[in-house]
Amino acid sequence: MSHRDRPTRQQFLRFLTGGLTAATAFGQDNGPVFAGKRTMIVHNDFPEDLETPLDAFGSWLTPNDAFFVRQHLPRPEVDIRAWRVEISGLADKPQSLSLDDIRRMRQYIVPATLECTGNGRGYFRPSMPGLLWKKGGIGNAEWRGVRLADLLRLVNVKTGAAFVDVDGADTGVSKTPDFIRSIPMRKALDPATLIALEMNGAPLPEIHGGPMRLVVPGWNGANWVKWVNRLNLVAESNSGFYMNPAYKYPKVPLPPGTAARPEDLAPLERMPVKSFFFSPQPESKHTRGPVSLRGLAWAGERRIARVDVSVDRGLNWKAAELGKEDFPSAWRLFRCDWTPAGAGYHVVMCRATDDAGVTQPIDAAWNPSGYLWNSVDRLGVLVEG
């Protein structure tokens, strides 16, 4: 196996001719090796859509080489010496900044969890088109960079600017449009919203948007624009594909398998409360004795108040022990030591509650694009004896 960095001509042609959809249907564990990555679950090899395997979730920070990857478009060619960020639109003093200009500004560190809006899509029934992520379209990192608010202050934002359109260096190819996201000013000016240059103490890897990406703590992954090279201050939200109809969610519950009327869709912002077990592995076999159930819980812009575990199919619930790392918009580790009552097949479940008192649902609402899967997690365990 060879390390892949640049696509082959065949991969590019497959992308142009729409071979994508067929390749997205099944994640595979034994796909090609990608530069800077350990073995990942490969949903697409080009553009790379890589899921983190469960066994890489043992730590609060997800290592960069195991962090999931989601790209709609081929990665841009990156020349960091020539890199510029243009800040313009409704601004009195438009600016063009180099990487060094940005490095000279005050840097902040924000730990935050990045989750793909479609994480868990593979569990919805009926199924829908799109990447069939299971649990691993998520990761947690320490992001270091400048505040978006500090960049905007440099240009003297005009009154009437209500959104920042954030664009990356990847451009539309064939039928796939350019990736642009509109961030409402309220979130753009939040002190935790960063343009990050580092991830877990290392320069931001190119595959994660290096040299710089947007970090929007608590908001779904689609907002975290990679390879940022243009910030455009505008009065109205962008009307491009990735703001409309993509990444919108029905305001009213829909019968599974039906379409939403466009006027019933609203843009997705923060992520809902959710948790999952990463250990033991699903359907693993154990000898008699204690089993340590370990997992992660997060709640978008809210904090985790508690995680409960059931070992009797949801009849009784018991509080799990929460990990010591506790920051807004970053997930929390939890554990629960359990001694199975006897040999045989057991099902364990976890459900998190956020600090507004909202508990994750037993059954996440079906929606046409398969966003925001957050059903109570369940795990089968076989005890031999």
374: nearest Cα among 311, 331, 312, 318: 331
Amino acid identity of residue 177, one-letter, is P
Part in contact with Mo ion (CB under 5 A); list of ranges 90-98, 109-117, 268-276, 351-359: 109-117
Residue 121 lies near ligand MTE (rule: CB under 6 A): no
Nearest Cα neighbor of 244 from 221, 268, 226 is 268
Q: Show contacts with ligand MTE in window 191-220 (CB under 6 A).
A: 208-209
Residue 118, CA atoms < 13 Å, CB-side half-sphere? 23
Cα angle: 45, vertex 57, 228; to 5 degrees: 55
| Contact status, residue 150 vs residue 43, Cβ threshold 8 Å | no
Shortest Cβ 181–ligand MTE spacing (Å)? 8
Per the document, the length of the chain is: 385
Secondary structure class of 66 (helix, strand, coil): helix
- Under rule CB under 5 A, which residues in 201-240 are in contact with Mo ion? 221-222
Contacting ligand MTE within 306-365 (CB under 6 A) = none
- Interface map 226-265 toward ligand MTE (x if CB under 6 A): xx--------------------------------------
Interface with ligand MTE (CB under 6 A), residue total 20
Query: Across the strands, what pairs with 307?
Result: 352
Binding mask 90-119 for ligand MTE (x = CB under 6 A): ------------------------x-x---
Q: Residue 161 in 3-state DSSP? A: coil
> Are 83 and 97 a contacting pair, CB within 8 Å?
no
Q: Which residue, 140 or 310, is less far from ligand MTE as judged by CB?
A: 140
Instruction: Identify what 124 binds: Mo ion, ligand MTE, none; CB under 5 to 8 Å per kind.
Output: none
Q: Which of residues 37, 70, 75, 187 is near Mo ion by CB under 5 A?
A: 70
- Cβ proximity to ligand MTE: between 119 and 353 the closer is 119
- In angstroms, the CA 82 to CA 98 distance is 7
Nearer to Mo ion (CB atom), residue 111 or residue 130: 130
Instruction: State the nearest-atom distance from the C-beta of 231 to Mo ion, in Å.
Output: 21
Q: Encoding tokens for residue 328?
A: 């807004």
329 binds, among ligand MTE, Mo ion, none (CB under 5 to 8 A by kind): none
Residue of the chain from 89, 111, 120, 168 that contacts ligand MTE (CB under 6 A): 168
Judged by beta carbon, residue 201 or residue 245, the one nearer Mo ion is 245
Nearest residue to 203 (alpha-carbon basis) of 139, 114, 143: 143
Query: Toward Mo ion, which CB reaches closer, 83 or 247?
Result: 247
Closest to 304 (Cα-Cα) out of 274, 349, 270:
274
Q: Which position among 66, 102, 112, 116 is part of the footprint of Mo ion (CB under 5 A)?
A: 116
Burial 257-268 (b: 16+ CB within 10 A, else e): eeebeeeebebb
Closest approach, Cβ 44 to ligand MTE, in A, equals 12
102 binds, among ligand MTE, Mo ion, none (CB under 5 to 8 A by kind): none
Kindly report the CA angle at 215 between 199 and 59, in degrees rounded to 5? 45
Q: Which residues bind ligand MTE (CB under 6 A)?
A: 67-73, 114, 116, 168, 170, 179, 208-209, 221-222, 224-227
Binding site for Mo ion (CB under 5 A): 70, 116-117, 221-222
